[in-house]
Amino acid sequence: MVNEDAKPPVCRIMDYGKYRFEAEKRARESRRKTRIADLKEVKMRYKIGEHDYQVRVNQARSFIASGDRVKAVITLRGREIEHPALGFDLLNRMVGDLSETADLQQAPKKEGRNITMIMIPKKT
């Protein structure tokens, strides 16, 4: 149907095989242009050295620059579980260091022995 409201109704005769082929071609093209953002993970402990911390921040920065989301995980082992505030401080520091390139999607939260947060690339 081209126009249902016309008197008499107007329709077009078409090759259905050709129509399906063109529709599938458009769908293939749109799938090819989309990019799926992966979730990359950066693991560390809160007793991390300054250079090792900078390596992790640079890894996260490169992941974000390529359009991926970044999940930062701090694992608490043994007696470290008594001091989760130190882990939260480290993740908040990481948020500050990556603030020019990334936004916080999920704030740091404790899940068992892990403290996790998720950052996404900033919208331009």
- Residue 123 is classified by DSSP as P
Domain ranges, ordered by start, for the chain: 39-121
Instruction: Give me the architecture of the 39-121 domain, per CATH.
Output: 2-Layer Sandwich (3.30)
Please, which residues have CB within 8 angstroms of residue 45's CB and are 6 or more apart in sequence?
74, 75, 76, 77, 80
Express each pLDDT in 16-48 by its tens digit: 999 999 999 999 988 887 767 688 999 999 899
Average pLDDT over residues 99-114: 91
Instruction: Name the band, by pLDDT with cuts 50, 70 and 90, for residue 7.
Output: confident
Coil, helix or strand at residue 124: coil
The pLDDT value recorded for residue 67 is: 85
Amino acid 76 reads: L
Distances (CA, A) of 119 to 25, 60, 77, 96: 35, 9, 24, 12
Q: What is the pLDDT of residue 108?
A: 92
Q: Is the pLDDT of residue 1 over 60?
A: no
